[in-house]
Structure 1
Amino acid sequence: MYTWVKNLIPETLIHIKPLSGGDTAKVFKIEAKNKSYLLKTNQLYPTNDLFSSEAIGLETIRKSNTINVPKVFKVGTKDNLSYLLLEYIPSKPPNAKSFKKLGHKLALLHKHTSFTKFGFDSNNFIGSLPQRNCWSKDWSTFYLTQRLIPQFKLAVENKLWDKHKIPSETILYKQLNALIGDVTPSLLHGDLWNGNYLIHHNGTPYLIDPSIHYGHNEVDLAMTKLFGGFDNSFYEAYYEVVAPHENKNALTEIYQLYYLLVHLNLFGKSYFDSANTIVKRYFN
């Protein structure tokens, strides 16, 4: 590994240090003479779609000029490995001040839109699962057909959900549309749990590991609340810039349903009860 990593960077390689990674990649800190890099590798996706999608997501957020992301240096394949070489961000635990900055910057990201439709130019991933982003003029249609239905179908295939207990698409759409109404497309991170942001040593917030698309801004906020870990100052700063939806509380659960279904399909039946409770509450 040392030899090919050495050829990836334009300066003298000093040390390769394994870091704790996610479920889809091995992660290394690459220490070189003048800077440090973050290298992600994966043997499960040698076609490199996973890392290519991540690179596109990071670059799209970067070009919005709203919130920082690590710089992408290289993405490619080597033998049976996919890899992504990124800027290494030295980080520290968040405090109320940094959470306030994060909330403000996320709001600016969500106010960034140059589209009148929902979706994205390419498909990507949520964790290791494919995520479709076909364009739609209607957010309720997009959320139903590109998010909920694929995960319900996968849960049935995985024998984690009885297909006869999934509400019809007519019922699902009717309830979604009634709660959501008309919303504006926002550029979303798409998987904003508390492991997908960093606070630089200088206090600057960074987003990492995006699953981007243009969607309803409350989706990102719903994910921040699913597993917790975000200070109240984060939400206060956010809502100073972007007003909350009138059905914010209900939509938090509605949008968490997607992520619970994803976790159900990735990690098993321990997520079924939480997902099923939301289905019964809003769609029966």
Structure 2
Amino acid sequence: MPHGQLLVERLREAGFAVDKVEAATGGVVAVAGLITLQDGRQVFAKTLRGPETDVFAVESTGLAELRAGGGVNTPQVLCASPRLLVLERMRPRRDAPDFWEQLAHMVAALHTSTVTDRFGWHRDGWLGRMRQDNTWETDGHTFFAERRILRWLPEPLVEAAFDPADRRALERLCTALPELVPSQPPCLTHGDLWRENILATGDGAPVLIDPAVSCTWPEVDLSMLWCSPRPPAAERFFAAYREIAGLQEGWEERMPLLHLRELLSTIAHGDDDWGAAEAVRKTIAPFRRSGGG
């Protein structure tokens, strides 16, 4: 079924009177579009091909928790069902220093106001098309090792991308995490905080979409922005965040390590066409032993 037709069919099933569909770009998982309704309103909608899952219920819950628990601007959810998610329309962001500074204030407030004593979340989530294991854990190094790095190694495309020496190096890195990452209390995190998930409200304020929430180290959110391509104006985000929330010494050096989850997920999804596997190998290189053992 063509892209627009599938979305229109599911919108009409949910009671939305559709006038026009403009296909959305940038996403790799959902069939999505900007929808003009017959009453003139515009909304954003997406659906998935294949079996029904709880992906939209999890996304809706994550958006609500970011808003209620952390004061984050998120779109209003108009419909969340196993077949369809409909959100209020957001606007493109402005890539100006003042916008990124506003975002820093919002993310810092999220991280500092939601500090807790456990890592995980009350339900598993999704990262793209794959489950995100959010089982509760009291130790952050164990949580990050088992739920965010080693969890990806059995995925077929990850197995194919790395040889046994690479996998042993990843395991050694996980063992060394207590020496590499200083202890930090967990907080509620967006979980997929890269530039494409940052939009703007009608009045230009930052708004976040497409979360993969969990309670974990706040630096995990920062690593998504730091290690993904970003506009020059985004440098103001890191300076402002540091002024507001503070950052422990060596945070820049930890960014590639904390980004491993995203790189491994990219490979597992079959999207490694920009060098994710090589980026992983660069990060784990200090943990390879001579002779590959």
Please tell me whether the aligned partners of residues 156 and 162 of structure 1 are also in contact (alpha carbons under 8 angstroms): no
Matched residue of 2:35: which SS?
A: strand
Q: Note the C-alpha offset of 1:125.
A: 1.4
Which letter does structure 1 place at the counterpart of 2:207?
Y
- Provide the residue aligned with 1:248 in structure 2: 251
Matched residue of 1:167: which SS?
A: helix
Q: Note the C-alpha offset of 1:6.
A: 3.9
Q: Is the alpha carbon distance of 1:174 and 1:98 closer, same or farther for their aligned partners in structure 2, counting shifts above 3 Å?
A: same
- Structure 1 residue 167 and structure 2 residue 168: aligned? yes
- Provide the residue aligned with 1:129 in structure 2: 130
- Provide the residue aligned with 1:70 in structure 2: 75
Q: Is the alpha carbon distance of 1:168 and 1:232 closer, same or farther for their aligned partners in structure 2, counting shifts above 3 Å?
A: closer
- Provide the residue aligned with 1:48 in structure 2: 53
* Counterpart Cα distance in 2 of 1:179 and 1:164: 20
Taking structure 1 as the reference length, the TM-score comes to 0.89
Q: Note the C-alpha offset of 1:156.
A: 6.8
Kindly provide the CA deviation profile for residues 5-37 of structure 1, in whole angstroms up to 9, marking residues without a partner as x. 245357x54433222241111112222326321
Q: Is the alpha carbon distance of 1:160 and 1:169 closer, same or farther for their aligned partners in structure 2, counting shifts above 3 Å?
A: closer
Which letter does structure 2 place at the counterpart of 1:195?
E
Please tell me whether the aligned partners of residues 169 and 288 of structure 2 are also in contact (alpha carbons under 8 angstroms): no
- Provide the residue aligned with 1:138 in structure 2: 139
Q: Note the C-alpha offset of 1:152.
A: 2.2
Unaligned runs of 5+ in 1: none
Q: Note the C-alpha offset of 1:157.
A: 6.0
* Counterpart Cα distance in 1 of 2:235 and 2:137: 33
Please tell me the root mean square deviation across aligned C-alpha atoms, in Å.
Answer: 2.3
Which letter does structure 2 place at the counterpart of 1:251?
R
Q: Note the C-alpha offset of 1:60.
A: 1.0
Please tell me whether the aligned partners of residues 48 and 76 of structure 1 are also in contact (alpha carbons under 8 angstroms): no
Unaligned runs of 5+ in 2: none
Kindly provide the CA deviation profile for residues 68-104 of structure 1, in whole angstroms up to 9, marking residues without a partner as x. 0011121114xxxx21111111334321111110111
- Provide the residue aligned with 2:203 in structure 1: 202
Q: Note the C-alpha offset of 1:234.
A: 1.1
Q: Note the C-alpha offset of 1:215.
A: 0.5
1:64-213 matched pairs, under 5 angstroms: 64-77=69-82, 82-113=83-114, 115-154=116-155, 158-167=159-168, 171-213=172-214
Identity %: 24
Q: Note the C-alpha offset of 1:172.
A: 3.1
Please tell me whether the aligned partners of residues 152 and 158 of structure 2 are also in contact (alpha carbons under 8 angstroms): no
* Counterpart Cα distance in 2 of 1:277 and 1:155: 21
Query: What is the count of residue pairs matched by the alignment?
Result: 278
Deviates more, 1:138-147 or 1:60-69: 60-69
